[in-house]
Amino acid sequence: MNWLPQSASTFAPGVDLILWLVTIISVLSCVLIGFLLVYFCVKYKRKSDNDQTPAITHDSFLETLWTVIPTILCIVIFLYGYIYYDEYTTTPKNAVEINVTAKQWIWSFDYSNGKKTLNELYVPVNQPIRLVMQSDDVLHSFFVPAFRVKQDVMGNRYTYINFTATKEGVYDLYCTEYCGTAHSDMLGKVHVLSKAKFASWEDGSADKALKASAANIPPAELGKQLYSSKGCVACHSIDGADGVGPTWKGLFGKKRLFVDGSSAAADENYIKESILYPGEKMVEGYGPVMPSYKGLLDDSEITAIIEYIKTLK
Amino acid sequence: MSEVNEKNYLENGEGFASWFFTVDHKRIGVMYLWAIAVFFIIAAIASFLVRFEHLTPGQTIVSADTYNVLFTLHGSMMVFLFIVPGVAASFGNFLIPLMIGAKDVIFPKLNLYSFWIYLAGAAIFMIALAGPADTGWTFYTPYSIETGANVILITLGIFVLGFSSILTGINFIVTMHKLRAPGMTWDRLPLFCWAAYATSLLQVLATPVVGITLLLLIGERYFGLGFFDPARGGDPVMFQHFFWFYSHPAVYIMILPAMGIISEIMPVFSRKPIFGYKAIAYASLAIALISFLVWGHHMFVSGQSKLVNIIFSVITYAVAVPTAIKVFNWLWTMHKGSIELSTAMLYSLAFIFLFTIGGLTGLFLGALAADVHLHDTYFVVAHMHYVMIGGTVFGFFAALHFWYPKMWGRMFDEFKAKIAFVLIFIGFNVVFFPQFIMGTLGMPRRYFNYAPEFQSLHQISTYGTWIIGAGFILMLWVLMRPLPGKAPGNPYRSVSLEWSMDSPPGTFNFDEIPTITEPVYNYGTKVEEES
Amino acid sequence: MGFFDVTSKIIKSIAYPSEMVPSIDDHADDGEHHFDPVTEHESAKLGMWLFLATELLLFGGLFAAYAIYRAKYPEMFMDGSKSLDVVLGTVNTVILIFSSLTVAVAVKAIQENRIKLVKLMLWITIICAAIFAVNKYFEYTYKFSKGIFPGTDIFYSIYFASTGVHMLHVFIGMIVLGILLRKVYKGKYSKENFTAIEIGGLYWHLVDLIWIYLFPLLYLVG
C-alpha cells in the first residue's frame, strides 16, 4: 500500500530517502528484538520451579556492540537529516518570492506582479520559489505533503519556505498548526504549471480561457465549485449547521438581523455586498472575520455563487 | 505478624477519615491509584469519542468545536491527571519504602499534603470543564490567549497539580538518600528506585518552569501582559520554548518509572539477575539529565534558527543511545533464564517490543529533514502513543498485575487476565499502527474533517479502539474480582525486599528493619566473571 | 466521624500540621512516624534545598523572559527602568538584606536556646517584610495612578510579573515566619529542635536573594 505521497519537489527525494533508511533500520531492529523475545521465551521456557540459571550480569563484547552500533546508526541518520535540511533552508539565487498570508481560516497569496489568489497557489514547474509568510492572527502552518515542506506561520515576524516543484499537477495544501474551529477546513491547492501555462496564468490570459470554459457550466454548478475552491466552505455550511459564518441553506430571501439593529432580506444585492464588503452589514451573532473578495471574484463568479445559494433551500 | 504490625495496612483503621488523613505511604499510594484510574477512564472515553468521530470524513457525531474540546480534554487529562503523577505517585509511593527497607517515606505528612494538592488541582481542572478548553493540551499562543474557553481555570488547575508533583519528587529523593536500610549501598538499590530517583529529579527541576509558563499565560489572558502575543510585541515561539522546556523532561517523567517496573519484573520471571544493573541505573540518570537539553526538537518548524535546530537534533540522538542500551539489557536478562509467562511478564515483554517501536519512530522525528514532513501529522500522534501506551501504560498494567498480591492480599485469574492482555495488545496496534501511515501520507493532527482518501485508515484505527476497549473492560473486571483466599507473602518467589513480608504488608512494613548483604537481584548461580 | 469532627480535623491539620495524629495503630511509637533527630534534621535541610531549587527555576523563567525582551527592546527597558523609583527600590533592598540578617541571627539564637532573641529577631524580620510590602503597595498604586498597568508595555509587564510573583513569595514567607514565631511562643523549639526555624530561614534568604537580582535588573538599567 502507498505510504508516501507523490514526490513533486526537489526536497522530496531526500526526505523519502531518510524515511526509507530509518524504516529499514526500524524494521530490522524490530524483527531482531521481536525474534529474540519469542525465541528466548520458547528456548528458555521454565521446566521446573528449581531450574538452574547462571547469574550472568555482564558481557563486555555485547554491551559494547549494542552501544556502538546504535550510536553509529544515530550519527548516520542525523547526518542525512542535517544535509537535506541544509539544502532545504538554503535559498537558491534565482528564487521567485511569493507572499503568503495566513488568517483564520484562509490562505492568501500575493504574487510579485500584483496578482492575488485565495487558497490556490500557482507556481511554475522547476522554478525555485521562496514563500515569505506571515499570519494575521494565530499560529498556522503551511504544509504541502507532496513537496514535503512545512513551516509555521506567525504574526510577529516572517517565516520562509524554499521549494522547487518538479512535476506538473495539483497538490494538497494543509494548515497544520491547530488554529481553532475550522482548522481542518483551512485547505488549499498548489497548482504546478508548465512555464507556458504559468505565463498565461500570470498575465491573465488563462483566466479568460477559464472563464470561457466556465461560461459553459451552469452558474449554480460553477457556484458550487467556487464554494469549495475559494474557501467559503471553511466558514459557511450548506446543511444548516451553524459555523463561523451563517449557513447558506435557506439563506436566499431570508430576513437578516444586523448588529446595528436594522434588518433586510438576503437578496442578490445583499449577497454581493457581503462578498465584496463583508463588514458593511454584519449579521447579529457573528464576528468580523470574513475577508473581502474584492479583486478575487469577478461579477460572473459572484453571480454563480448567488445562483448556487438559491439552490440551497 | 508481630505486635507492631498486627493488622495489615488495609485493615488498620476503617472509614473515610482513616484513609483521607492517613500518613501511611501505602494508603496514599492506593488513593493515588484510584484517582488516576478514574481520570484514565474519563480521558480514554474522550479518546473513544474522538476516534468514533473519525469513522467518516465529515461530521459523524460531534461538531468541530466539540471535537476540539474532546482532544484537548483527552490530552490534558491524560498528561496532567494520569500519566505524569501516574506510576510515580501510585506505585512509587507504595513501593519505595518497602523496597529500601524503610517504615515510610521521610516526610509522611508532606506525602499526604501532596495527595490533597493533587485532588485540589484535579478539582479546579474539572470545574474548568464548564467552559472547556479547545486549545490542545499544549496551549499554544496566541490562540490560547484569545479563545473564549476557561483557559485560566484549567491552567490554574495544572499549576496546582505541579506542586503535588514537586513535593512528591522532593519526598522520594530525600527518602532514598536518608532511609535506605543498613547495607543498602547505592549499587544495591532496586532499579525501580533508581528510576523513581531520576523521575523525581525531573519533577523537581522541570515542573517549576511549566508553573511560571502557565502563570504567565494566565497573566496574558487576565492582564494582557503581552509576552506571548504578537499583537502586543510578544513572541509566541517563546511560549513554546518555555512550555517544552518542561514538557520534554515530562515525557521522561512518564516513561522512566515504567522502565523501572520492567527492570523489576524481568528478573523475577526469568529467575536471573538483571543484565547490566549499573548500565541501567546510569542510563536512567543520563536520560534524565540529557532530557533537559532536547526540548527544541518539538519546534523544528516553529521558526527557530537553523543552528539551534541542528544542536537540538544532535542532542536528541544522544538521548536515544542510553534508551537502546536499556532495551538490550532487559532482553538479555532472559538469555539462559527460566522464563515464566505470567500476565505481568507478558505486559513487560510487550512493553519491550512496543516501546522499541515507539523509540525507533522517534529517530524519524529527530532527523531534521524528515521532521519537516512529519511534524504535526498523525506520525507524531502514533509515535507518542506507542511510547506512552505501549510503554508507560503497559508498564503500569504490568505493575498492577505483578504487585497485585502484595497490595491487596489476593490473587487474580491469570487466564482471563491474559485474554485481556491479548485484546489490549492487538487493539492497541490496530489503533495506532495505521496512524504512522496516515502521517507519512500527510494527514495532519487535530483535524476534525479529513480528505476522503484517509477514510479507510481512520476506520481501521477506530475499530481498534473497540478491541482495546473490550480488553480494558475485561482487565478491570478481572482485577476487581480476585480469586477467593489469601495470597501468599511471596507468590512469585522474588528476592526483592517488598516481597519479604506478608501480603498485604502491615502498616509499618517491617517488624525489624533488615540489613542488606546481598546484591539486589540475587537469582541464579554465580558464574565466574569474564575478565 | 461526624461532619463537624471531620471539618475541625481538616482545619486543625492545616493550621497545626505537626500536631495532626494520623489514624494508625496505637502500638506505634507515640503515634507519629519519628525517625531519629539527626536524620530528620539532615533530611529537612536536603528537602528545603531541593525546594529552593524549584523556586530558582520558577524565577529563572521570569529572568529568561527579561533577558530576551531586554535584548529585543533595549530602549523600552531603559525608559521603563528610569520611570521606577530608585530610592524606594534601594530602601526595599536594604530592608530585605537587613531582614536576612535578622533571620540568620534568629537561627543562631535558637541553636543557643536564646528564646527572647529568637522572638525579637523573627518579629523584626516579619516587620521588615511588611514594610517591604507597604513600599511596593505605594509603588504600584503610584504607577496605576499614572495609567501604567501590567500589559501597558512589555517592560511594565515584566516589572509587574516579576515583582508580583516575588511579592507573593514575600507574603508566603511572612506566613511561614509567623507560624514559626507562634510556635516559638508555645515553646516548641530549642537547641535540640530547631530544624524548622533553620529551613524557614533558608526560604527567607532565597526571597531576599531573588530580590537582590531583580532590583538592579529592573531599577538600575537606565
Pairwise CA distance, residues C135 & B350, whole Å: 62
| pLDDT greater than 60 at residue C25 | no
From the list B16, B23, B205, the residue facing C57 with the nearest CB is B205
Neighbours of B135 (CB within 10 A): 25
* Amino acid A200: pLDDT: 85
Distance CA C138, CA C89 (A): 11
* A52 interfacial to chain B (CB closer than 8 Å): yes
Q: What is the CATH number of domain C56-219?
A: 1.20.120.80
Residue in A17, A15, A8, A20 with CA at minimum distance from that of residue A146: A8
Give tens-digit pLDDT for A211-226.
666 677 888 888 888 8
Query: Is residue B250 assigned to a domain?
Result: yes
The answer regarding whether domain A96-207 maps to CATH 2.60.40.420 reads: yes
**% pLDDT > 70, chain A:** 96
C128-152 residues labelled b (16+ CB within 10 A) or e (exposed): bbeebeebbeebbeebeeeebebbb
Picking from B270, B301, B317, the nearest residue to A150 by CB comes out as: B301
Size (chain C), residues: 222
Task: State whether A184 and B276 contact (CB < 8 Å).
Answer: no
pLDDT digits (tens, 9 = 90+) for C31-40: 344 678 888 8
Chain A residues with CB under 8 Å of B309 CB are 85
Say whether residue A296 is in contact with chain B using an 8 A CB cutoff: no
CA-based nearest residue in chain B for residue A47 = B338
Q: Which of the other chains make 3 or more beta carbon contacts under 8 angstroms with chain B?
A: A, C
Whole-angstrom Cα distance, residue A206 to residue C140?
Answer: 64
Q: Which CATH number belongs to the domain containing residue B166 in this structure?
A: 1.20.210.10
Say whether residue B503 is in contact with chain C using an 8 A CB cutoff: no
Is B107's Cβ below 8 Å from some Cβ in C? yes
- CB contacts, 8 Å: B442 with chain A: 5, 143, 145-146, 172, 174
Helix C37-72 vs helix C74-82: crossing angle, to nearest 10: 110
Size of interface A-B (CB pairs under 8 A): 275
Q: Between B306, B325, B527, which is nearest A89 by CB?
A: B306
Residue B330 lies inside a defined structural domain of this protein: yes
Confidence of residue C8 (pLDDT cuts 50, 70, 90): low
C20 pLDDT higher than 50: no
A/C touch flag: 3 or more CB pairs below 8 Å:
no
**pLDDT for res A49:** 85
Cα nearest neighbour of B331 on chain A: A37
Instruction: Using an 8 Å CB-CB cutoff, list chain B residues near C149.
Output: 223
Looking at the predicted structure, is the pLDDT value of residue C69 above 50? Answer: yes
C134-172 pLDDT, tens digit per residue, is 999 999 999 999 999 998 999 999 999 999 999 999 999
Q: What is the pLDDT of residue A214?
A: 66
**Grid cell listed for B499:** 516481597
Higher pLDDT, A191 or A226: A191
Considering only residues B390 and A52, tell me which one the structure prediction assigns the higher pLDDT.
Answer: B390
Whether the predicted pLDDT of A134 surpasses 70: yes
Distances in whole angstroms, Cα of residue B460 to Cα of each of A116, B52, B427:
41, 11, 10
Nearest to A5 by CA among A163, A151, A144: A144
Tell me whether residues A74 and B363 touch, CB distance under 8 A.
yes
pLDDT value of residue A182? 87
- A217-311: which CATH topology? Cytochrome Bc1 Complex; Chain D, domain 2 (1.10.760)
What integer best gives the mean pLDDT of chain A? 90
C-alpha cell at A151: 513551516
Contacts of B450 in chain A (CB under 8 A): 184
| Sign of the dihedral defined by the CA atoms of residues A46, A47, A51, A56, in that order | negative
Span A102-128, average pLDDT: 90
- pLDDT at residue A61, as a whole number: 94
Q: Which of C23, C27, C157 sits opposite B21 (nearest CB)?
A: C23
Chain centroid to CA A194: how far? 22
Q: Which long-range contacts (CB under 8 A, 24 or more apart) does A26-35 make?
A: A26/B357, A26/B360, A26/B361, A26/B363, A29/B356, A29/B360, A30/B353, A30/B356, A30/B357, A30/B360, A33/B327, A33/B331, A33/B352, A33/B353, A33/B356, A34/B353
Kindly identify which residue of chain B lies nearest to residue C66, measuring between CA atoms: B227
Give, in degrees to the nearest 5, the angle at Cα B102 between B208 and B163.
15
Predicted confidence at residue B4, as pLDDT, reads 58
Structural domain range at position B202: 28-499
CA distances from A312 to A221, A240, A263, A306, B182 (A): 12, 10, 21, 10, 82
- pLDDT tens for A137-180 read 999 999 999 999 999 999 989 999 999 999 999 999 999 999 99
List of chain C residues whose C-beta atoms are within 8 Å of the C-beta of residue B508: 25, 28
Does residue B135 contact residue C64 with C-beta atoms inside 8 Å? Answer: no
Whether this model's ipTM surpasses 0.90 comes out as yes
Q: Do B17 and C9 touch (CB under 8 A)?
A: yes
Give the C-alpha distances (Å, rounded to integers) separating B200 from B4, B85, B173.
31, 11, 6
Considering only A51-55, B170-174, B361-365, C69-73, which range has the smallest mean pLDDT?
Answer: A51-55
Are the Cβ atoms of B3 and C13 closer than 8 angstroms? no
The amino acid occupying position A140 is H
B294 or C6, greater pLDDT: B294
Q: Which amino acid is at A171?
A: Y
Tell me the pLDDT band of A297, cut-offs 50, 70 and 90: confident
Give the relative orientation of helices B414-440 and B455-480 as an angle to the nearest 10 degrees.
160
Q: Is A15 within 8 Å of B273 when comparing Cβ atoms?
A: no
Walk across the sheet containing A106-110 and list its strands.
A116-118, A106-110, A96-103, A128-135, A159-164
DSSP state letters, B337-375 = --B---HHHHHHHHHHHHHHHHHHHHHHHHSHHHHHHHT
The reported pLDDT for the residue numbered C14 is 54
Q: What is the pLDDT of residues A63-85, one digit of tens each?
A: 999 999 999 999 999 999 999 99
Contact check, Cβ <8 Å, C9/B233: no
Q: At what angle do helices B191-223 and C154-185 cross, to 10 degrees?
A: 120
Chain B meets chain C (3+ C-beta pairs below 8 A)? yes
Q: How far is B225 from chain A (nearest CA, A)?
A: 16
The answer, for A89 touching chain B at a CB cutoff of 8 Å, is yes
CB contact under 8 A, A177 and B140: yes
**What grid cell was written down for A276?**
465584496
B-contacting residues in C 1-30 (Cβ below 8 Å)? 1, 5-6, 9, 13, 17-18, 20, 22-25, 27-28
pTM (predicted TM-score): 0.91
Half-sphere exposure of B421 (CA within 13 A, CB side): 24
Number of domains forming the structure of chain B? 1
Cα(B147)–Cα(C9) distance, rounded to whole angstroms? 41
Q: Find cell 512509587 and name the residue.
A: B92
Residues B89-129 pLDDT 10s: 999 999 999 999 999 999 999 999 999 999 999 999 999 99
How close B204 gets to chain C, by Cα (Å)? 6
Interface of C with B in 83-142 (CB under 8 A): none
pLDDT tens string for chain B (531 positions)?
Answer: 455 567 889 988 888 999 999 999 999 999 999 999 999 999 999 999 999 999 999 889 998 899 999 999 999 999 999 999 988 999 999 999 999 999 999 999 999 999 999 999 999 999 999 999 999 999 999 999 999 889 999 999 999 999 999 999 999 999 999 999 999 999 999 999 999 999 999 999 999 999 999 999 999 999 999 999 998 989 999 999 999 999 999 999 999 999 999 999 999 999 999 999 999 999 999 999 999 999 999 999 999 999 999 999 999 999 999 999 999 999 999 999 999 999 999 999 999 999 999 999 999 999 999 999 999 999 999 999 999 999 999 999 999 999 999 999 999 999 999 999 999 999 999 999 999 999 999 999 999 999 999 999 999 999 999 999 999 999 999 999 999 999 999 999 999 999 999 889 999 899 889 999 988 898 988 765 544
AA letter at B156: L
Query: What pLDDT does residue C222 have?
Result: 74
- CB proximity A189 to B under 8 Å: no
C-alpha span between A96 and B240 (Å, rounded) = 31
**Alpha carbon distance C40, A168 (integer Å):** 75
The answer to the question of residue B520 being in a domain is no
- Inform me whether the C-beta atom of residue B226 falls under 8 Å from chain C C-beta atoms: yes
Which pLDDT value is given to residue C17?
44
Listed in sequence order, the residues at least 6 apart from B69 whose beta carbon sits closer than 8 Å to its beta carbon are B132, B133, B134, B149
Nearest chain C residue to B506, by CA:
C25
> Phi, psi (5° rounding) for residue C72?
-80, -35
CA proximity to B64, closest of C21, A237, A264: A237
Q: Could you give phi then psi for residue A58, rounded to 5 degrees?
A: -145, 155
